[in-house]
Structure 1
Amino acid sequence: MSVKHAIPNFSQPQVAELVKRLFRLTTSEIHSLPSYDDQNFYVAAVEGGEYVLKIMNSVHSKDFNLIAVQTYAMSFLRQNGLPVQTALPTTSGQLMSLEEMDCGYGCQKYLVRLLTFLPGTTISKVSLTPQLQYETGKTAARMDKILQEMEHPHLGSLQRNTFTWSLSRVPLLESYIHLLDGDPLQEVVQSVIHQYKTSVVRKRSSFRKCIIHGDFNDLNVLAQPDESDDYRLSGILDFGDMHTGYYIHELAIAMVYMISEHPQPVEAVGESFLSGWESVLPLNDAEKECLYLLVLSRCCQILVLASHSATLHPENAEYHMIFHKKGVCILHRLWELGKEQVEKVWFQSDA
């Protein structure tokens, strides 16, 4: 079954019933939140408290062990001082409930979790000062370091070898390159894939392996104003793309989205986000050498896979194309500047 036919379509009354039955909470307010291929709802309870009800699509709901690890990781990071959501137990003491519902494609099963609500504004909507960039980079690196200490009986499920969005799977984009027919960037994407295969792959053995969040983007990071009206990082959301990868992959993915939020993208990230990351996890030579190409590769993934998703889910095309536009802008900018010029800025403190 395609994910298109697996996306849940629960109504607000059904959500209210779920929350009442599973968590003994009476809803006073419900509204939907953006989601890629699941359903998320903001829920306020009469009894007090704000929550996010997350309903997984029926395809991903079958991978119980993977979601169990992701749910545990959130709790583990919270225990280690990071601002992350945690799942609330149901009345039977479970952190997830498998619910059966007909959402238009016959009866299917959907995993449901009630997560704590984190206050704040996505950093896509706030002024991304050098200080906030630095703090965000530092927090991303801290998160990955903490995850390396995590133990769980199903850690092996994070070895997601067929995960389309993994930066290890960039050559897969060749299967979708036809979606860019007529797009002037098609040639650039083909060139990046070629360079990835010839340059990045042979250096991968020198990359440091780890567990990564996998989608540390500007819609998944929250910030709040502090006492001096500067913004401070207040939350990390959405561990659905978590997998076994490399530190450098996490950095490259995050940098794409941080770059997209700044009027002087290359300079800003070189001076702040990357510095914050390296204050915790300095890059080795191979990682440093491949960072530029990995950032370009993520832009290509966004460009190609967002186009693919928009054709599969035209009803959700606007959401997918948010990422598409960002990928286009950054790919243009970085490609025009070239590797040498970009690295000169990113690593200027090494000079």
Structure 2
Amino acid sequence: MSTLTPEAALALADRHWRVRGEVRALPSYADQNFRISGERGDYVLKVAHPSWAYVGLDLENQAMLTLAAREPSLQWPRVMPSVDGGHLLSLRMEDGVRHVRLLSFVPGMTYAEAIEAVLPDHRPALHESLGRAVGLLIRGLAGFRHRAAGRVQDWNLMNLPDVRGEIAHVEDAALRAIVAAQVESFCAKLPAWRTQLPIAVLHNDANDLNVIVALDGQGGGQVDAVIDFGDMCTSFRLCELAVACTYAMQHEADPVACAQAVVRGCLALCPLQRAELEQLHAFILARLCHSVLMATRAHREQPDNPFVLVSQQGVRALLRTLAGTDPNAIVAPFLEACHE
């Protein structure tokens, strides 16, 4: 894949969006992203990897446009129209046609960075604000439809059965036993859940690097934005809440209290069914197991890459803790309340 220089990226932004300013490349797993800072604000020019299909990127754009219109109280990356009115351009480059778009840059610290600056007695409020952000995601995407929303996505919990073969490669025997038990239980219940639990189009990745926090300067902070729509899929609505809980809990000495605050914030804006809440514990465990298995596969494929397992310490510690926790510990305070 040819590499676009920052200067060439700035020329594209000027030609198609009339955006000028200082430009610098941003880290990205597969795409090429460039931050452009000018008089009209800060933007991110995103040049998609050649493997990305136009329809999948359009799904992300349409979701961001929908959320901006329906739920403006939270920041979402704004999709910027080009001079000809388009929001996703297919431009011919040296290595073929590449899909290019311009989004607003969302300022702030990631949750993973901000949590270290938030004082302990302010953390419950931060957790509740995370829950409210999840509620806005669920509420804002309710009824959203797109022809690419059914795309196969590795991180869709509905596809957890596809990585069961990795269980045998988990080296830690005690951890392997936990993963095997949780995954087999989850997969056995999947057929029934497909008929019993609400299914929707999801962001599916409100992790601690995709949630943006605004600090208040007094030891507290509030979730201000959610970014990175690259893992969107159609799955159980409950996954949106389970994913957010999974990553927030890893930063806390009392993960159950953390998750309770997240749930409280979510339910304040978006009631869920009792049947969903009753399965939250199982879905959090499944997401943790999914992470273990995906990392195990990546490690087998790239044994010399130390970064493949860099986030696994927190994942595995939380999995061990929750596997021995009462399944209703998180949701017990909410089960008797009125739900949708």
TM-score range, shorter chain: 0.7 to 0.9
Question: What is the deviation of 1:85?
Answer: 0.7
**Cα 1:19–1:66, aligned 2, differ >3 Å: closer, same or farther?**
same
- Asked whether the equivalents of residues 166 and 296 of structure 2 are also in contact (C-alpha less than 8 Å), the reply is no
CA distance, structure 1, for counterparts of residue 271 and residue 126 of structure 2: 19
1:117 aligns with 2:111: no
CA deviations on 1:33-89 (whole Å, 9 max, x unpaired) are: 3x34323322213x44211122222212x2x22321320221221122131011212
1:199-214 matches, within 5 Å, as: 199-214=189-204
Question: What is the deviation of 1:122?
Answer: 0.7
CA distance, structure 2, for counterparts of residue 14 and residue 314 of structure 1: 35
Aligned twin of 1:256:
246
CA distance, structure 2, for counterparts of residue 314 and residue 29 of structure 1: 35
Amino acid of the structure 2 residue aligned with 1:299: L
1:74 aligns with 2:64: yes
Aligned twin of 1:38:
31
CA distance, structure 2, for counterparts of residue 43 and residue 124 of structure 1: 24
Amino acid of the structure 2 residue aligned with 1:139: A
CA distance, structure 2, for counterparts of residue 207 and residue 329 of structure 1: 29
1:267 aligns with 2:257: yes
1:131 aligns with 2:125: yes
Aligned twin of 1:295:
284
- Asked whether the equivalents of residues 137 and 275 of structure 1 are also in contact (C-alpha less than 8 Å), the reply is yes
- Asked whether the equivalents of residues 197 and 275 of structure 2 are also in contact (C-alpha less than 8 Å), the reply is yes
1:17 aligns with 2:11: yes
Aligned twin of 1:242:
232
Aligned twin of 2:150:
159
1:334 aligns with 2:322: yes
CA deviations on 1:217-243 (whole Å, 9 max, x unpaired) are: 111111112375531222110111112
- Asked whether the equivalents of residues 206 and 287 of structure 1 are also in contact (C-alpha less than 8 Å), the reply is no
Structure 1: runs of 5 or more not aligned: 1-5
Question: What is the deviation of 1:315?
Answer: 9.2
Root-mean-square deviation over aligned CA pairs: 2.6
Question: What is the deviation of 1:295?
Answer: 0.8
Aligned pairs, number: 328
Amino acid of the structure 2 residue aligned with 1:158: A
CA distance, structure 2, for counterparts of residue 256 and residue 48 of structure 1: 37
Q: What TM-score do you get using the length of structure 1 for normalisation?
A: 0.83
Question: What is the deviation of 1:265?
Answer: 1.5
Paired-residue identity, %: 24
Residue 347 of structure 1 is aligned with which of 319, 327, 332?
Answer: 332
CA distance, structure 1, for counterparts of residue 92 and residue 180 of structure 2: 43
1:284 aligns with 2:284: no
CA distance, structure 2, for counterparts of residue 18 and residue 321 of structure 1: 37
Amino acid of the structure 2 residue aligned with 1:159: G
Residue 99 of structure 1 is aligned with which of 79, 91, 114?
Answer: 91
1:219 aligns with 2:209: yes
* Higher normalized helix content (fraction of residues): 1
**Cα 1:89–1:179, aligned 2, differ >3 Å: closer, same or farther?**
farther
Q: What TM-score do you get using the length of structure 2 for normalisation?
A: 0.86
- Asked whether the equivalents of residues 89 and 101 of structure 2 are also in contact (C-alpha less than 8 Å), the reply is yes
**Cα 1:94–1:312, aligned 2, differ >3 Å: closer, same or farther?**
farther
1:88 aligns with 2:80: yes
Amino acid of the structure 2 residue aligned with 1:110: R
CA distance, structure 1, for counterparts of residue 93 and residue 167 of structure 2: 36
**Cα 1:159–1:84, aligned 2, differ >3 Å: closer, same or farther?**
same
**Cα 1:183–1:10, aligned 2, differ >3 Å: closer, same or farther?**
farther
SS of equivalent to 1:239: coil
CA distance, structure 2, for counterparts of residue 179 and residue 27 of structure 1: 49
Aligned twin of 1:176:
166
